[in-house]
Amino acid sequence: MTTLIPAPKAVRAHPPHQPGRRETVHKWRRRFPLLPALIFTVVVTQLPFVATLIISTLQWNILKPGERHFTGLSNYAFVFTDERLRTAVLNTIVLTASVVSISMVLGLGLALLLDRRFPGRGLARTLLITPFLVMPVAAALLWKHAIYNPDYGLLNGTLNALYRLFGAENGPTIDWVSNSAMPAVVVALVWQWTPFMMLILLAGLQAQPGDVLEAARVDGASAMATFRFITLPHLRQYIELGVLLGTIYVVQTFDAVFTITQGGPGSQTTNLPYEIYLTMFRKYEYGEAAAAGVVVVIGSIVVATFALRTIASLFREEVSR
């Protein structure tokens, strides 16, 4: 008894201190074994970024030793005023927006089809996922040589076969990559990213409660109405996730641009990663490259946030209607 009385008093007397400290000690005891991992993570992920921030304030061309010096924010000024970089930003936005939106729409369609039961569904699903598993460089090479090549590519080959079928001697020789460079890159990327969107949306569709759909059917809702008012709002989170992840990855596209078009013709398909690559490995201007890299990171965050908000508000309207 006597021992019990002072204890609550003491607790009441120092409410924020005693248990807090004990808890902190306890917490740290639990955290301690994780600390090395945490420190390691910080070192390998955050320190390079800090280094990048520092380098972005330097005037540093490695081909001109002895001229490295602090230059403040002038590299950023260059990034924002340089015409080529502005084009690159624009191209990055066009590329990312079109790839993400087209692959999202296609992915949604495929997911809806795959959500139904049909014989051979497992096989169809595996085949549809395959493009996403191909290495980006390999995929880009495949598109450049096997499909777009004007001499021996599949597209012109098919065209020629069709022409011959109707009696012509030879079809047209279309140089796909030079004539429509941006669409060529977009199509190759859509091919890679549609399965990703499809997978996420398929997971969403299969998580849809069956009783709600059944209730809608019993109430006499049409398939279109069920999709629009029940399935689509349910998929919202999944679409958001797909757009977010897709945007983050597609903004960084390098392989397709490097392999298929080399940023050309001119700088029509030069996106930021490729422009940064040129700055780093042709111009050897490390400061400019670092500054552009920082801008890409910030840009990715902005684009992703923006995309997310647009979609969120679209759905709010949809629900309130």
Partner 1 sequence: MTIRKITHAGRSTRAVLAAVAAGSMLAACSGAGGSSSGGGGESINVLMVGNPQMEDIAKLTKDTFTKDTGIKVNFTILPENELRDKVTQDIATQAGQYDVATIGAYEVPIWHKNDWLHELSSYAGKDSAFDEADLLKPMVQSLSGDDGKLYALPFYGESSMLMYNKEVMAEKGITVPEKPTWQQVADIAAKVDGARPGMKGICLRGLAGWGELGAPLTTVVNTFGGTWFTKDWKAQVNSAEFKKATNFYVDLVRKHGEVGAPQAGFTECLNALSQGKVAMWYDATSAAGSLEDPKSSKIAGKVGYAYAPVDKTDSSGWLWTWAWAMPKTTKKADAASKFMLWASGKDYEKLVGEKLGWSRVPAGKRASTYELPEYQKAASAFGDITLKSIEQANPTDPGVQPRPTVGVQFVAVPEFQDLGTKVTQEISAAIAGKTSVDKALDKGQKLAEETAKTYQ
Regarding 254 and contact with partner 1 (CB under 8 A), the answer is: yes
Q: Which tokens sit at 300?
A: 């990715």
Nearer to partner 1, 54 or 223 (CB): 54
- CA pair distance 157, 149, nearest whole angstrom: 9
> Of the candidates 6, 13, 175, 313, which one interacts with partner 1 according to CB under 8 A?
175
Question: 182, 94 in Cβ contact below 8 A?
Answer: yes
Q: Specify whether the backbone of 66 is left (phi greater than 0), alpha (psi in -120 to 50) or beta.
A: left
Q: Does 8 bind partner 1 (CB under 8 A)?
A: no
Per CB under 8 A, the segment of 4-12, 91-99, 133-141, 216-224 that binds partner 1 is: 133-141
Piece in contact with partner 1 (CB under 8 A), picked from 98-106, 197-205, 237-245, 269-277: 269-277
Q: How far is the CB of 155 from partner 1 (least distance, A)?
A: 12
Per-position x/- string for 82-121, each x denoting binding to partner 1 as judged by CB under 8 A, each - no binding: --x-------------------------------------
Q: Is 34 in the site for partner 1 (CB under 8 A)?
A: no
Q: Are 61 and 284 a contacting pair, CB within 8 Å?
A: yes
Helix (H) or strand (E) holding 162: helix 154-165
- Alpha-helical regions (H) of 69-153: 74-81, 83-115, 121-133, 136-141
- Across 164-203, b (16+ Cβ under 10 Å) vs e yields eeeeeeebeeeebbeeebbebbbbbbbbbbbbbbbbbbbe
Is 268 near partner 1 (CB under 8 A)?
yes
Which span (6-14, 143-151, 200-208, 210-218) binds partner 1, by CB under 8 A?
Answer: 143-151
Q: Which is nearer to partner 1, 108 or 181 (CB)?
A: 181
Which chain residues interact with partner 1 by CB under 8 A?
47-49, 51-52, 55-56, 61-65, 84, 135-137, 144, 149-151, 170, 173, 175, 177-179, 252, 254-255, 258, 261-268, 270, 273-274, 276-284, 286, 289-294, 296
